[in-house]
Each structure stands twice: as structure tokens, then as C-alpha cells.
Structure 1
Amino acid sequence: MTDLAEESGEVPRALAERPAVHPHLEFEWRAFWSLLSDRPSGPHAAIPFSSIDRYAERYGVRGADEFDRFHDLLAALTAALNEAAAARAPSP
């Protein structure tokens, strides 16, 4: 998208409105987007615990406190995504 903005001189809305991610949260941000496709379909679906656990093990998240923080951050990101999707959904 950045290339498109540079070529056209126009910044796409998704690029202009993208959230700023603090450097100390980049690992969790990448994990969230990597694991998002593991969610079952349907509204308010969460990333399965087993997927988060596998990712954490593979990428060196060690200890209960570190894992709980990782899990809680992914759950918060999922909740924020679900809230945003609900806000965009057409009203009945």
C-alpha cells in the first residue's frame, strides 16, 4: 500500500488510519495477524488457546507470567477487532 501511495500521490484510507504500534509490542502485533486465520468463523470468535500456546512455544515465550501477558494482549487485540467490525456492520 505504501508503494501505491507513493506512485499515485494519494494515501489509501487503510494506510492513513493504520494504528501506530509501539516497538515493544511489534512481536505481539505480528503474532496477532499471523494467528488471526486460526479463529473459527463467526462473530466474536477468539484465537484458540492452542494456537497461541503453539506460537508462544515456537517463538520463545517462556514462563507463566510472560505467556499470560502474551495471551492477554492477543485477547485484547481480538476484542478490539470484533468491536470495530461490529461498529462497521449495518444496522438491522
Structure 2
Amino acid sequence: LKVDIFGKLDKIVKPSGILASNTSSIPLIKMANATQRPGQVVGVHFFNPVPVMPLVEIVVSLVTSEETVTAVTDYAKNTLRKKTVRAGDR
């Protein structure tokens, strides 16, 4: 279902938009490949309880662009006030 939703979001989100998922059970690359913007798909995993835990994991696939990673990391740090750690899509 989530892969299908990413394909649908790809058609309605502006071309510069980043698509993010908090999933850990579906390979991120699978969701990225359902879009025309695989470099703009990223995983963002929050740790529970979200309001208390300062850490967020930025998950990148083999095709996630560095621009996407930078934008999402900056958002997590500057807007959400979270510490970030980068992880691969495994």
C-alpha cells in the first residue's frame, strides 16, 4: 500500500518536493523506485517518545541525493530541534 501511495504522491507533489517515510519494514529503495524522483525519497525515523527523544535517523537509499539529505537534515536540526544520525537503507 505504501509503495502505491508513493507512486500517487509523486504525481501530485510539486517536482521539487521531498517524499519521506518513517517505515522500517519496507526497503526505502522500493518506495523510491515507485516515483519519478528516487533521489528525493528519504527515510526519517523518530525515536519514541518523539517529543522527548532528541534523535532522528535520516535513512538514505543508494539513490537518495545529497541535496535531499542536506535539506532533510537541516529541517530536522533547525526546525524540529533534533540531533540527526545518517543511516543506510538496510
In terms of Rg, which structure is larger?
A: 1
More strand per residue: 1 or 2? 2
Q: Would you say same fold, with TM above 0.5?
A: no
More helix per residue: 1 or 2? 1
TM-score in terms of structure 2 length: 0.35
Higher normalized contact order (CA 8 Å, seq sep 6+, divided by chain length) = 2
TM-score in terms of structure 1 length: 0.34
